[in-house]
Every structure is written in C-alpha cells, then in structure tokens.
Structure 1
Amino acid sequence: MRGVIAAGHELTVQAAEVVLREGGNAFDAIVAAHFAACAAEPVLTSLGGGGFLLAKPADEQPLVFDFFVHTPYEKRAPDALDAREVAIDFGPARQTFHIGRGTSATPGVVRGVFEAHRRLCTMPMRELCAPAIRYAREGVRMNALLAYNAGVVHPIYTESPVARAIYGGSGPHARLLEGDIIRQPELAETLEALAIEGDDLFYRGEIAHLIARDCEQGGGLLTRADFERYAVILREPLVTDYRDVTIMTNPLPSSGGILIAFALKLLDGARLGAHPFGSIEHLALLAKVMRATSSARVEALQPDGYLDPRKLLDANYLARYRQQVLGRPRAMRGTTHISIIDGKGNVASMSLSNGEGCGEIVPGTGIMLNNMLGEDDLSPHGLKNWRAGLRMSSMMAPSLVLRPRGDVIATGSGGSNRIRTAILQVLINLVDFDMDVEPAVRSSRIHMEGDKLSLEGGLTIEKVKPLLAAFPEHETWPELNLFFGGAHTVMRAGREFRGAGDPRRGGVARIVA
C-alpha cells in the first residue's frame, strides 16, 4: 500500500495520488496537493495566503512549518489605504468583511511549501506542480460546493475587472454555476515559473516586484522589504495527552491548537464515553466545554493578540474552568485542509487559508492576495490597529494523534472559529466513542459561539429538547453543513489505511494501493 489521502476536492486528491503512485512520499504528495488546491479550490486557498504543515517523517520527531501571513513592517495613513467593507449573505445571516489591497498581509504559503520541499521531498518541483498547471490552464469544472462557495463570496470575487473576468460568469451580474469551467491561465504561467525558478521569484524576484508595485499604486501596504524579510518559522508541535493517546497540534502563536488542548484538559475529569453518542449528557457537556473555552480565550488574550499559554494550561486556571463545566446543571471562511500518510510511515497534515481574499488579482500573476488584516478573528483590534512585523495568529490546527498500539491519525479542518470545535469532536469521537475514521468525521456536530448553540442535522430533536431549553439562544440545521468545518482525516493502523473526506466541504478520501 502506498498511502492514504483526504482533501477537499477530487482534483486535489488526484494530484497527490499521482505522486504516491510515482514513488513520492507524503510530503511530495502534499506539496502537489497544495498547488492543485490553488487551482481546484480557488475560493479556499491561494498562493497569496498562508498556512501550516505538521510533518512527521517516519521514525523522526514531528515539526511544524509555520508559513502563515506576517503583518507588514510599515503602515500607511488610513486615508491612503484601499480598504472597504463588503456585506456577504450567508443565508440566515449577513456579515461584513474588509477587503482591498490594504487588508493584505505578507503571504507565506509559497515560501512554506518550497521550504518543506527542500527539507522533506524527493521529487522535482516541476513534477509536483504539473497537475496544478494543467488544472489552471485547461480549467476546472465547478462542482456543487465550489459553485456555492463562489456564490457566497461573489461580491468579493467580482470587485475588480480582472477578478470578474475569472470568477464573474458570462454577464455583468452572472455567477459561476455548477458545471461551469473556471480557467486561470495567468496562474498557470506563475506556477510554471515558480517550478523552474523557485520561491525567490516570489520573494525577491519579479512576482515580489509586481505585488509591491500594485500595492504602492493601489493603496496596499506590502513592499519589497516585506517579501525579502519573510521567513518560514519551524516550531515544535504542542503535545498533549488525552486518555491513552498523544495529540500533537499547532503551537502558539496560533490559537487553535492550544484551545483544543484546553478543551481536552477540561474533559479529563469527565467520563464522556460512558454516555451514548448524541445523548443529552454528551451534548450538554460538550456545549459547556465549548463555552468555557471561548470564555477562557477572551480572558487569556494578551494586548499583542496572542494567547497566554501559562494562563491557559495552568492547573489552577484549568481547575476553575473545569469546575464551571462539571459543576453546572444540565459561517464559512476561506480555509481548506489536506491529510496524507504514506506507506513508509511519513505523515503530513496541512491547513491553508486565504481569508475571504482581498478582491484584487495582482496583474500578470493570477494571484488574489489574502485579506487577513481585515479579519476580525485574526486582527481583533481592528484594521487600523494591528502591530507591524508580527506573525499573525490563526485558528488553524493541523493535528496528529498517536495511539499506544502504534496507530497514527492525521486531521485538521477549515471553518474559522469552528475549526477548533470540529477537530475537538473528531478527536472525541475517535478516543471516547471508539469510532472508526469515517463515522468520526461524518457524525453530527455542535458548535458554541458566545451563548449561541448551533446543532447540526442528524441529531434527534426529541432527544435534544432539554438541551435547547438549557441554551435558549440556539439554531438547528436540517442536515450536515459546511458551517461545522471540514475535517479531512486519514489513519494508518498497522498495514491498513483508512481515510474520510468530510462531506460538509466536498471531502474526498482515497487509499492508494
């Protein structure tokens, strides 16, 4: 067996599958899958965004590649910025986002995947980029989920004439529909050039020049110096024990991993698996843990926007929140995830994001930059009050699970604030409810945001009526929904591989023989 892949699109999985069949390792495959996702999942990831790779080479220690976005080193006067609000309709709710060139932080994804390639890969970059180049040039047929996502962000992706030419459909108010073909010829040329010239083209060469010039002339913040100073940060993963398993996840300054660890620590004192899955006891406890985690996040937030780990994982602090949990009476973001395990024991878990995108395509590149400076979740002090020259925090949390008998699981999710609750529930399903990978991913989820409880379709309403009474502010969903994340998950147990693409976000899993 060559390995197992789980990702958010059939073409993303196919790119990784080809690499594994040609003898590449999990890291070769995930680099190819990333580039493919830029062409096949353009609303969810981009060369203009950032992300994280949790890599565990066989018989070696794991390592986190932090290539998330970095705030610019210099600010501009607010009235000189291209920054504007756009309202997005999510169906039952509308949300306002900030877009424009002035909302873009320095992208790290190109440097990140090339750094992973230098350290971990075995195949030439030209071969790894080949599927993505073909997808971008020949076109990708819009599936139902991609068409839905494109429809949601239509006001952003049709802001500028260049973006409208790619994402705007055939008329002035037209939208891309399921079955339409999306072609990105300039992106194909950019990928070809990167495959030949390497990442210095992006950070010190022509692409850096094009982005810096576009920002200077169009009200952006990024300069050549921002690109020249960008570096991947290699970190040790955050390691926490839960029951009899070891969980490795994204460390600080990103917040997703430590909040998952905090929630698991709160659950240490509970016998969650003693209750049936979907029971009132299971869901009520989970909701209270989620609410406590959100409260702890606010309390532990430092002025620089990072979480204080000494406070969050302090025994007394945990005891206080555990007492609250155990003592009481009974919206989509642009993120995608890829998980791969190969036959040699290498494990790769990569999460990627472009925010909602800034709405502008950099001329001559086919690249839409991120809008991370305009993300309330990532820049909580506002568009004008971010600190210069810092790696931004993120909720993304690519994770690995090691079981005592030697099984290894790779998971992660998209979904903004729902990332941590999606991953938490997959982990609980695997560990406390002893589920296999497929049901662990597919089982219905809940999410707690502030005092509002969201319950996904598949949970029996009659059973959860007491829960709804305990949480008067609630929302029920009729079926599985991308709101609750997309936790694409793979597992190796001995010589057997298993995988589950999360159906909420078009997930595809494939075992490669």
Structure 2
Amino acid sequence: MQKLNGVVAAGHQETALAGLAMFPLGGNAFDAAVASMLAACVAEPGLTSLGGGGFLLAHTHTNQNILFDFFTQTPSIKQSKSQVDFYPVDVNFGGSVQEFHIGLGSMAVPGVAAGVFKVHQTLGKLPLKVVAEPAINLARNGLEINTFQAYTFNPILSSILLSSPEGREIYAPQGSILQAGERIVMKNLANTLEYLVQQGFEEFYQGEIARQLVADCQQGGGYLTEEDLRRYRVIERQPLRIGYRGKQILTNPPPSSGGTLIGLGLELLSGIEVANLEFGSCRHLRMLADVMRLTNTVRKQGFDDRLHEQNMAAEFLSPEHLQPYLQELQETVNKWGSTTHISVVDSEGNAASVTTSNGEGSGYMIPGTGIMINNMLGEEDLNPHGFHEWRENVRLSSMMAPTLILDGDRLEMVIGSGGSNRIRTAILQVISNYLDFGMSLAAAVNRPRVHWENYRFDIEPGFNQTEINHLQLADHSEIVQWGERNMFFGGVNGVATNADGTILGTGDIRRSGVSLGI
C-alpha cells in the first residue's frame, strides 16, 4: 500500500480537498485542518461558520497534546427578556422534531474566527494567505450542492437561512431555496476572508465587522457588546485523558461537558465484557441504553453546575463516585446529535481533531460579510437551567468532543462528531465498536447507532429486528425505530493510523462524509 503524506476526513468533499491541498505545498496537519475549517464555512454553511464556535485537539509529532478551546462565550451583560429578540423555531429531522431559539438574543460571542488564526499561528507552517486560498476560491466561484447539504437547507434550516436579506440572496437567489445540483455562491464571504487574511483576524473582533455586529445588537435586541468581542480569547487546555481497554483516550475537558460524559460512559463500559456480547443483540442494545441513561443520571446530579471547578472531571470519573452506577449496570447486564467534524493526520505524526458548529444559526448575517452568527444561547442542550439563565462572561459548555486514541505514545485514531446532544453517544459507540468488537474504522463509524434521552430510545435501521422485538428497557422507555439512517445520530469522521505508518480515513455516510488522502 502506498504511504500517504496525509489524510483528511470531513463532512464534504470540498472541505477535505481544501485541507488535502496543503500537503503538496509543504503544509502539515494543522495547515490542513485550518484550510478545511475555512472551506467548511462555504461547503457546509448550514453546519458551521466563522460566527460559530468549536474546539481543535492537536497531537504533534513530538507528542505534545493541546486542546484549543474557541467555543462561544456568554455576553457580559444581560437585558430584560422583553427587550431581547429571541423566538422559537422547530427543526424537523424526519423522525424527531427539536425546538431551537434564534434571533439576535440567541447569539453568543463567536470563536471560530479567533480559533482559525490561533491554531495557524501556533502550529501551522504555511502562510495564512495560502491556507485560506481554497476557501476564498470556493466562496467566489461557488460549488454544486449535494443531497445532504440540500437536506440541511430544506426542510431543516430553511426558515433560518432565509430570515435575512443576505441569507435569501445566498440560499434563494431565484426566489426559492437552492436544491441539490444547483450552485451556491458566497462572494461576500470570499471578500471577507480576503480582508481578514490581509488585515488580521482581530478585525473580526475589533474592526468594522465588530462595530456593525454590535450596532445591530443594540438596535435590534441582542446582547453582544464591543467589550464582549474585544476581550474574547482562545484558551489552550490540557486534554482530558481516559484509560480504556489498554488505550489512552484524549478528549475535550471541562468546562465543556461532552468529553467528560464520554469518559463516564467508557468508565461504565470498562466494567463489562462488551466483546462477549454480540453486536446489535438484545443484550448489547439494552446495555447501551442503560449506559446512556446512567450517564444522564450522573449529569443531573450537580454535573453542569460544577463544570468550571478545578478537578471536577477527576472527581466525577473516580471509582468511588461511579461505584453505585457500575453496580447497577453490571446487575442489569447480568440479568439479561448542527455541527461538523474534521479529522486530519499527516505522515510526520501530527494530528488534528476539530469540531465546529454554528448551532442552527441565529438567522442574522452581518451585512455585507456572508457570515451568519451562531444561536448558542438558543440551544436547549447548552442551557440546561433554562434560556436567559446563563452566567455572564463564561465559556458555554458544549457536547463537542474532538477525540484521539493513543496506543502508548503512538497515535492510533482521530475522531469526532457533529450531532448536538447525540455527539457523545455517537463517539462512545464508535470507540466501543473499534476497541470492544475489533471493527475497522469504517465499520465502527458506519454501523447503525442508538441514542437514549428523556425516556426515549431511538434506534437506527440495520439492527436485527428479532433482537429489537425482544428488547425491554428497565426504565420502560419508549422504543422508536427509524426508517432510514439520519444525521440525528451524529456524523463521525475519522482517521486511523496503523503500526506500519499507513493512514486510513472514513467519513460518516449519515452526513455524506468523505475521506481523501494524498
């Protein structure tokens, strides 16, 4: 097998191609990740944006591990709810309807623009102009919309994408929303990217773009202020490290919740001989439902309130804290989630796992820029205590969990997922499929999944129907069988490295994911 210089797995072919183009130019995995992040804002505009937030987990060839936190920040000042532009919309996934809130009052301080610049400045090799060029060309010349992107546009996000004049100009230039096979062009975004590359990405936070955003918030009912934007910073964190089946799992630490909740799930699974259970059997599905249910139970017991405390993860993952949940799970076994992800590995041993999101988008686009701002203050998953109850000037907690698997010091896998509240259960199942059942990366990612939440157990097609017919859950949750694979169950894109140095990637078929190597 030919040795590759690098592999990129992403949610769209153009996203992956932008990253792949960096390797022949002498770029590394981090140049590729930044190029892909920028291209995703064009190729996957329903999922990510410079106005959103995210995380990049970096592993360097010198075995340095850094989690770049550029997720969204809560505003510093609250207003009366009656003065805030904040209203609900329903998002229909086909088998499930979820309510989100949008408007100027749903916008948190964005971080992707700062994250792009920080990661490139810290770990990149190529000039930023070179790294941004594929995204700029893509935005200016346009690209053909694929079936999955058309699905995210309509029916899922149509009411949001078309809620502003610039949104209608981009997504419905002829009066009706773009369909698969038609071309989307984002010339204003191309111009904005060129401007930011020339002037510096700090212009997004302190220049005319920032002033326009703040002025519209002040006039229309948003929270964001000049101070909120000016003092935003990317935070470098130590990844959360979890041992599982002799491997080391590195993932997103607090104050984000997703990584720690994955850790909770893995700690629960570690007490079970999962390999002895047939994949998709009644016992396997029951065990997954119980692990997800128990993880949610732990979360409700002060978890979210303590995410900003030091050593919080160590306490919640300690054997003493988990013992009653482990015992309940073992007794049970013996009785019978708009987000996108990019994974990159290069031949030097550098790796990047990056998850970004714009939520569903607030509906507001900064005039003349092509940039829609996030609606993270309107995401129920990110506001467990209720809307408008957030603490001022803190990082919002996120389910995003860019993840690495290490075998000793050797990088073995880079994965992550989109999917809102389903991110943690998607990644948990892929890790278990790979390490417990010995599946290949492609099989681990694309086997059917389940998700338990709020006494509802959603099951993708592909499991044995006889096993499902015999499935009885301890909590009498409703069992819902889906008719087709769906983005509701996440979108895991990953890259694996073998001991001989070969690199293999895979994209999640649920979101038309791709993997390309060079």
TM-score (norm 1): 0.96
Out of 69, 73, 77, which is 1:74 matched to? 77
Distance in 2 between residues matched to 1:214 and 1:506, nearest whole Å: 36
How far does residue 487 in structure 1 lie from its aligned partner after superposition? Answer: 0.6
How far does residue 45 in structure 1 lie from its aligned partner after superposition? Answer: 0.1
How far does residue 344 in structure 1 lie from its aligned partner after superposition? Answer: 0.4
How far does residue 373 in structure 1 lie from its aligned partner after superposition? Answer: 0.6
Structure 2 residue 503 is matched with structure 1 residue 497:
yes
Distance in 2 between residues matched to 1:306 and 1:362, nearest whole Å: 31
Paired residues of 1:158 and 1:164 also in contact (CA < 8 A):
yes
Out of 210, 223, 226, which is 1:224 matched to? 226
Q: What are the equivalent positions in structure 2 for 1:257-336 lying under 5 Å apart?
A: 257-303=259-305, 308-309=312-313, 311-328=315-332, 329-330=335-336, 334-336=338-340
Label 1:386 to 1:287 Cα distance change in 2 as closer, same or farther (>3 A).
same
Of 159-168 and 19-28, the range deviating more from structure 2: 159-168
Q: What are the equivalent positions in structure 2 for 1:1-12 lying under 5 Å apart?
A: 1-12=4-15
Question: Equivalent residue for 2:482?
Answer: 477
Residue identity in the other structure for 2:266: L
Structure 2 residue 123 is matched with structure 1 residue 120:
yes
How far does residue 364 in structure 1 lie from its aligned partner after superposition? Answer: 1.7
Distance in 1 between residues matched to 2:252 and 2:305, nearest whole Å: 21
What is the DSSP-based 3-state SS (H/G/I as helix, E as strand, rest coil) of the residue aligned with 1:490?
Answer: strand
| CA deviation string 1:455-496 (max 9, x = no partner) | 111111112221157655111123322111111010111321
Out of 348, 369, 375, which is 2:373 matched to? 369
Paired residues of 1:306 and 1:393 also in contact (CA < 8 A):
no
Distance in 2 between residues matched to 1:83 and 1:407, nearest whole Å: 44
Q: What are the equivalent positions in structure 2 for 1:234-253 lying under 5 Å apart?
A: 234-253=236-255
What is the DSSP-based 3-state SS (H/G/I as helix, E as strand, rest coil) of the residue aligned with 1:447?
Answer: strand
Distance in 2 between residues matched to 1:125 and 1:286, nearest whole Å: 44
Label 1:469 to 1:426 Cα distance change in 2 as closer, same or farther (>3 A).
closer
How far does residue 435 in structure 1 lie from its aligned partner after superposition? Answer: 1.2
What is the DSSP-based 3-state SS (H/G/I as helix, E as strand, rest coil) of the residue aligned with 1:352?
Answer: strand
Structure 2 residue 184 is matched with structure 1 residue 178:
no
How far does residue 162 in structure 1 lie from its aligned partner after superposition? Answer: 2.2
Out of 15, 19, 29, which is 1:16 matched to? 19
What is the DSSP-based 3-state SS (H/G/I as helix, E as strand, rest coil) of the residue aligned with 2:420?
Answer: coil
Paired residues of 2:95 and 2:482 also in contact (CA < 8 A):
no
Paired residues of 1:262 and 1:293 also in contact (CA < 8 A):
yes
Distance in 2 between residues matched to 1:94 and 1:428, nearest whole Å: 28
| CA deviation string 1:38-59 (max 9, x = no partner) | 0000000001000000001102
How far does residue 37 in structure 1 lie from its aligned partner after superposition? Answer: 0.1
How far does residue 176 in structure 1 lie from its aligned partner after superposition? Answer: 1.8
Question: Equivalent residue for 1:401?
Answer: 405
| CA deviation string 1:49-89 (max 9, x = no partner) | 00000001102320000000001111222222111222333
Distance in 2 between residues matched to 1:502 and 1:87, nearest whole Å: 25
Distance in 2 between residues matched to 1:463 and 1:96, nearest whole Å: 32
Paired residues of 1:143 and 1:178 also in contact (CA < 8 A):
yes
Residue identity in the other structure for 1:286: L
Distance in 1 between residues matched to 2:73 and 2:409, nearest whole Å: 40
Structure 2 residue 494 is matched with structure 1 residue 486:
no
Question: Equivalent residue for 1:164?
Answer: 168
Label 1:459 to 1:405 Cα distance change in 2 as closer, same or farther (>3 A).
farther
Paired residues of 1:304 and 1:387 also in contact (CA < 8 A):
no
Distance in 1 between residues matched to 2:295 and 2:238, nearest whole Å: 23
Distance in 1 between residues matched to 2:279 and 2:93, nearest whole Å: 29
What is the DSSP-based 3-state SS (H/G/I as helix, E as strand, rest coil) of the residue aligned with 1:19?
Answer: coil
Distance in 2 between residues matched to 1:209 and 1:244, nearest whole Å: 51
Distance in 2 between residues matched to 1:403 and 1:71, nearest whole Å: 37
What is the DSSP-based 3-state SS (H/G/I as helix, E as strand, rest coil) of the residue aligned with 1:21?
Answer: coil
Distance in 1 between residues matched to 2:418 and 2:288, nearest whole Å: 20
Unaligned 5+ runs, structure 1: none
Runs of 4+ in 1 over 4 A off after TM superposition: 304-308, 468-472
Residue identity in the other structure for 2:142: G
Paired residues of 1:136 and 1:184 also in contact (CA < 8 A):
yes
Question: Equivalent residue for 2:426?
Answer: 422
Question: Equivalent residue for 1:459?
Answer: 463
Label 1:193 to 1:405 Cα distance change in 2 as closer, same or farther (>3 A).
closer
Structure 2 residue 32 is matched with structure 1 residue 32:
no
What is the DSSP-based 3-state SS (H/G/I as helix, E as strand, rest coil) of the residue aligned with 1:164?
Answer: helix
Of 422-431 and 320-329, the range deviating more from structure 2: 320-329
Residue identity in the other structure for 2:485: L
Residue identity in the other structure for 2:508: D
Q: Count matched residues.
A: 508
TM-score (norm 2): 0.95
Distance in 2 between residues matched to 1:384 and 1:154, nearest whole Å: 25
Question: Equivalent residue for 2:146?
Answer: 143
Label 1:304 to 1:158 Cα distance change in 2 as closer, same or farther (>3 A).
farther
| CA deviation string 1:356-406 (max 9, x = no partner) | 100011112111100101111111222222111001100000000012483
Question: Equivalent residue for 1:43?
Answer: 46
Residue identity in the other structure for 2:279: F
Paired residues of 1:26 and 1:347 also in contact (CA < 8 A):
yes
Q: CA RMSD of the aligned region, Å?
A: 1.6
How far does residue 170 in structure 1 lie from its aligned partner after superposition? Answer: 2.4
Distance in 2 between residues matched to 1:303 and 1:428, nearest whole Å: 29
Residue identity in the other structure for 2:361: G
Unaligned 5+ runs, structure 2: none
Distance in 2 between residues matched to 1:501 and 1:251, nearest whole Å: 25
How far does residue 218 in structure 1 lie from its aligned partner after superposition? Answer: 1.8
Distance in 2 between residues matched to 1:439 and 1:309, nearest whole Å: 31
Residue identity in the other structure for 1:269: G
Distance in 2 between residues matched to 1:490 and 1:397, nearest whole Å: 15
Residue identity in the other structure for 2:190: A
Residue identity in the other structure for 2:192: T
Structure 2 residue 112 is matched with structure 1 residue 109:
yes
What is the DSSP-based 3-state SS (H/G/I as helix, E as strand, rest coil) of the residue aligned with 2:355?
Answer: strand
Paired residues of 1:28 and 1:117 also in contact (CA < 8 A):
yes
Of 230-239 and 200-209, the range deviating more from structure 2: 200-209
Query: How much identity, in percent, do the aligned residues show?
Result: 46
How far does residue 161 in structure 1 lie from its aligned partner after superposition? Answer: 2.2
Question: Equivalent residue for 1:507?
Answer: 513
